[in-house]
Structure 1
Amino acid sequence: MNYRHAFHAGNFADVLKHAVLARILAYLGRKDAGYRVIDSHAGIGLYDLAADEALRTGEWRGGVGRVRAARPSPALGDWLAPWLSALRAVNGGDDLLVYPGSPAIATALGRLQDRYHFNELHPQDAATLTALYAGDRRVRVGSEDGYVTVRAQLPPRERRGLVIVDPPFEEAGEFDRLTRAVHDARKRFATGCLMIWYPIKDVAAVDAFLAGAAGAGYPRLIAIEQWVRQPGGDGPLAGAGVLVANPPFTLADETEAILPELTRLLAEDDGAGGRVLRLAEDG
């Protein structure tokens, strides 16, 4: 439990992950009926960009900092709009003082009828998250193993919603646990949307994970990946992806259209790239 996302909040991987998350939530919000968001590894919710952790690495400057300073095309601007709306909401305007994690993005874009279960195993972070949402009756905070949460909280009472699994990848075997989580979610909440974040370090391990996830039998399954330099070797994280089961029907096409521009914006060298993989499609 040593991983602390405060050192990495707002980096390039967060941009992709949270922009995709915001688009999924915007899609869910098109219907009046409430939905539930279950976040298995939730963190603390909000990250102070003036805190020592953020200042020590400065990773946010190469992620959200670049996006905020850019003038994107209309297509990329539209794709980023829900995420940027959440940024403004938690900061109370255009100044970038704090960076929202998945819980803060979800609640910023949510409505009175929506419900949230945020889980965080790290005791100190769980306490911080609990304090953040002490006055929000829509939110429940748990502090168990995140993979137990995926099994225990499904299916949600609302029968619609999103499960987020974003583990720290501190221990060996994380991809195996993620594969089991995909299969568990499919059994318990077959019609729900599932979003899983993963790092791209060992490409063979990523390919094996995606193949195992495809075996769960979701009718629609996509993976969105981006790397700011060629993955592999030592050093800081070079690439990351999100696996989305039961994605909004437009998500793959619209992301594929803007991914080259987003990749150029976040690239660190000529080895940067990205792709959208359609692992399973209806029909």
Structure 2
Amino acid sequence: MLSYRHSFHAGNPADVLKHLVLAQVLGYQTLKDKPLDYIDTHSGAGFFELAAADAQKTQEYQDGIEKLWQHTSKHSALNDYIALIKSFNQTANLEFYPGSPKIAEHFLRRQDKGWFFELHPRDLLLLEENMQGKRSIRVRGENGFAGLVGLLPPASRRACVLIDPPYEVKDDYDTVITTLMQAYQRFATGTYMIWYPVVDRSRIDNMEQDLIDSGMRNIQLFELATKADTDVHGMTASGMIVINPPWKSKQVMDEVLPELVSILSESSGFYRSEQLVAE
């Protein structure tokens, strides 16, 4: 039984990192006129009202996007991300937060296609409502892991993929790697983004080693920890692993991540920006 609802967590520090990286990648991918296929394996509802009961129950956005709302950075990537989130709010107040589907929709052009998978019945209905109106958008109530593999190689010969399961099923850690390897075998030139939570560091260490041993090339890892690793307090950090990233991604994240740690993290917080596997 699927129970995870992202509405409780919208706008938290994990979303800040995930969507900052996503916006960078899609901004780069859509510089070319050639069509692009964007695939989101675990889409969620796609758009969130922060005054709603779910968001107010946890108020995780107060530790994430709210701390950045009035912030001006010396780095354009962070300013662009903040401006992007503000574009979804009709007033100067922080009232709404876009999920990955709405952020992707912002970048996708007429010649592109967006594929959005979601299994949770309620979130699927909300996703369909939030993403309606564009012929290039496809919403599917199917397993996103299988759906991704079935769409590759894309007719456009260009693909940008976000693999973002909730990891409420512990097998997801292994399924992410096996699915990614299947996808890579079918289409090695795609850009693949994997979001992960740090709840048990050993699971992430195993994922990293599996990727290093996989034979895939050009893998980068970006992680934001709001506090030190622990076995007691749940998620302390989250990360994005990017295969075939834009050529300046690491340079940008090397600049932005220390700033995010200083704003969003406790004194024990830290960041990682690493080239896991060379080009």
Same fold (TM over 0.5): yes
Give the residue type in structure 1 aligned to 2:167: F
Q: Is the 8 A contact 2:72 2:79 kept in 1?
A: no
Give the residue type in structure 2 aligned to 1:271: S
2:47 is aligned to 46
Give the residue type in structure 2 aligned to 1:273: F
Deviations 1:125-173 (A, max 9, x none): 1111112222111100011112111211112111112111100111122
2:273 is aligned to 276
Deviations 1:21-67 (A, max 9, x none): 00000001111112111000000110110100111111001100001
Q: Is the 8 A contact 2:68 2:82 kept in 1?
A: no
Give the residue type in structure 2 aligned to 1:222: Q
The runs of at least 4 aligned residues of structure 1 exceeding 6 Å deviation read none
Aligned residues: 278
> What's the offset of the Cα at 1:279?
1.1
Q: TM-score, normalised by structure 2?
A: 0.95
Taking the aligned partners of 2:237 and 2:264, their CA distance within structure 1 comes to: 11
Give me the CA root mean square deviation: 1.4
Can you give the 5+ residue segments of structure 1 that lack an aligned partner in the other structure?
Answer: none
Taking the aligned partners of 2:155 and 2:86, their CA distance within structure 1 comes to: 31
- Are 2:95 and 1:97 aligned? yes
Taking the aligned partners of 1:37 and 1:191, their CA distance within structure 2 comes to: 14
Can you give the 5+ residue segments of structure 2 that lack an aligned partner in the other structure?
Answer: none
Taking the aligned partners of 2:244 and 2:184, their CA distance within structure 1 comes to: 10
Secondary structure at the counterpart of residue 228 of structure 2 = coil
Moved more, 17-26 or 230-239: 230-239
2:37 is aligned to 36
Matches within 5 A, 1:160-171: 160-171=158-169
Deviations 1:207-231 (A, max 9, x none): 1101112233222001111100012
Taking the aligned partners of 1:134 and 1:102, their CA distance within structure 2 comes to: 15
Q: TM-score, normalised by structure 1?
A: 0.94
2:107 is aligned to 109
Taking the aligned partners of 1:62 and 1:7, their CA distance within structure 2 comes to: 13
